[in-house]
């Protein structure tokens, strides 16, 4: 695992706080480790004993660049425990970083957040700030504060604040230590001063002080805008294929306009992960709850769902059905740099290929173990996993690319020609320049076919 040199450019605070973090997923563990890296004493709490034991051994339960390095570097300031009472009892700040998964109706499941709130109310015996780091619907912080105050065992003041995260999986450490902004949604001067002290070690970062509901909305509005941008450019890419335009030229031309910018304009087979799918549905649900429809967000969700099947539709041009074919699948995770499979296009495409009678050969540098578990849970069989791309491509009738891993992008076209029975490549992430793929049948997103 590589280590970024920029990790050393953080201020080291002189007056450490005692910080507890509930949850050791992407948000919780990264927050705790980064807070320790700036000098605070941090206790990370989780209900999973296996995860706690792994972290005590210096092993991160999630795949994230630089995380294990910082865990080792700051081990004297980090404690991992299941004992929430001792962690919360005399903490200055308690971050809630547990999951808020999507319910069947699209709303956010807040049960984990309120379970932690219940534990906090039963444990704290000094004035403290409880920080909701998890992405939660607008108004949740108010409810958490009311709930804690109703359930408090000891007569102490508890201040609840909203402090949304803006990290991306695969670059979470850098995104936290060198974030574009820190948003503090507070309703008391005490919470404001304590959190400014907590973030004192984060150098040269703009800090926005606002109320809690605005902070909650900033998170949703930011994520949903990026999701909307992705769905928009995917629709433009689909139209480019129809009218003969080239999406890369189009996005390059758009990107010169600084009002638009060039980020999140990469056409592909849709967004996935733990944030965009969940957060777009949650905000859409919240608006509907208040008898209001966010038409743009609704459209972004619909476009993204359809985009996931773009390669399957393209494959129908070459094979009427997949029965008896060998299909190579390169990339299983929703993006490179992570082992996260949440909402990954592979999760819906691979079972469909299997159902159509294909033999699927799959490769991913870090996501195979998680993918196997999910397929087993869903009773999907008939998938062979390989350690090299060449083995995966061997004797394949067609290749699907779902994730733009560097190893895939570095692959020369000769590998496809030499190893595949028929070098038909359907690239859902536009990994290659079209002109570099002559001699194969190469289809990507928003660009003409190369032969």
Catalytic positions, written as ranges: 275
Q: Please list, in sequence order, all residues whose beta carbon lies within 8 angstroms of the beta carbon of residue 414, skipping any fewer than 6 positions away.
A: none
Helix (H) or strand (E) holding 29: helix 26-37
For residue 183 the two structure tokens come to 């948003």
Distance between CA atoms of 143 and 284, rounded to whole angstroms?
A: 20
> What DSSP designation does 387 have?
S
Distance between CA atoms of 95 and 88, rounded to whole angstroms?
A: 10
Triad 383, 385, 391: Cα angle to 5°: 120
Q: Which residues pair with 182 in a beta bridge?
A: 207
Residue carrying the six token digits 């005490």: 190
Distance between CA atoms of 367 and 373, rounded to whole angstroms?
A: 10
Distance between CA atoms of 184 and 45, rounded to whole angstroms?
A: 23
Distance between CA atoms of 148 and 220, rounded to whole angstroms?
A: 24
Helix (H) or strand (E) holding 356: none
Distance between CA atoms of 277 and 263, rounded to whole angstroms?
A: 18
Distance between CA atoms of 196 and 163, rounded to whole angstroms?
A: 11
Distance between CA atoms of 383 and 241, rounded to whole angstroms?
A: 32
Contact 169, 140 (CB under 8 A): no
Q: At what angle do helices 140-151 and 111-123 cross, to 10 degrees?
A: 40
């Amino acid at each position: 695992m590589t280590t970024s040199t920029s990790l050393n450019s953080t201020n080291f605070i002189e007056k450490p706080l005692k910080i507890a973090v509930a949850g050791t997923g992407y948000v919780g563990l990264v927050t705790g480790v980064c807070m320790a890296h700036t000098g605070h004493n941090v206790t990370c709490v989780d209900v999973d004993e296996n995860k706690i034991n792994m972290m005590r051994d210096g092993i991160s339960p999630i795949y994230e660049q630089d995380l294990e390095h910082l865990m080792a570097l700051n081990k004297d300031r980090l404690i991992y425990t299941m004992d929430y009472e001792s962690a919360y009892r005399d903490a200055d700040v308690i971050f809630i970083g547990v999951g808020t998964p999507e319910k069947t109706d699209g709303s956010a499941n807040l049960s984990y957040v309120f379970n932690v709130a219940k534990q906090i109310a039963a444990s704290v015996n000094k004035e403290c700030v409880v920080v909701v780091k998890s992405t939660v619907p607008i108004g949740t912080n108010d409810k958490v504060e009311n709930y804690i105050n109703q359930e408090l065992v000891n007569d102490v003041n508890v201040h609840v604040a909203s402090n949304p995260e803006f990290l991306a999986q695969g670059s979470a450490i850098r995104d936290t230590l060198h974030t574009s902004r820190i948003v503090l949604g507070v309703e008391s001067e005490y919470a404001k001063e304590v959190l400014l002290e907590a973030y004192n070690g984060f150098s040269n970062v703009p800090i926005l002080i606002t109320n809690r509901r605005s902070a909650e909305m900033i998170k949703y509005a930011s994520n949903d805008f990026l999701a909307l941008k992705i769905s928009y450019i995917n629709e433009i890419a689909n139209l480019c294929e129809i009218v003969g335009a080239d999406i890369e030229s189009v996005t390059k031309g758009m990107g010169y306009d600084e009002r638009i910018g060039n980020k999140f304009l990469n056409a592909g087979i849709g967004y996935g992960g733990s944030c965009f799918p969940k957060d777009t549905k949650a905000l859409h649900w919240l608006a509907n709850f208040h008898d209001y429809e966010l038409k743009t967000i609704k459209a972004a969700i619909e476009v993204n769902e359809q985009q996931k099947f773009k390669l399957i539709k393209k494959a129908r041009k070459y094979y009427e059905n997949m029965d008896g074919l060998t299909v190579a699948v390169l990339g299983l995770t929703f993006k490179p740099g992570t082992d996260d499979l949440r909402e990954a296009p592979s999760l819906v495409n691979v079972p469909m290929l299997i159902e159509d009678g294909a033999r699927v050969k799959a490769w991913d540098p870090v996501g195979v173990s998680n993918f196997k578990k999910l397929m087993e849970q869903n009773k999907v069989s008939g998938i062979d996993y390989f350690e090299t791309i060449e083995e995966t491509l061997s004797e394949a009738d067609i290749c699907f690319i779902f994730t733009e891993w560097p190893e895939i992008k570095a692959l020369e076209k000769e590998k496809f020609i030499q190893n595949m029975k028929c070098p038909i490549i359907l690239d859902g992430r536009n990994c290659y320049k079209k002109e570099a793929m002559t001699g194969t049948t190469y289809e990507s997103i928003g660009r003409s076919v190369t032969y």
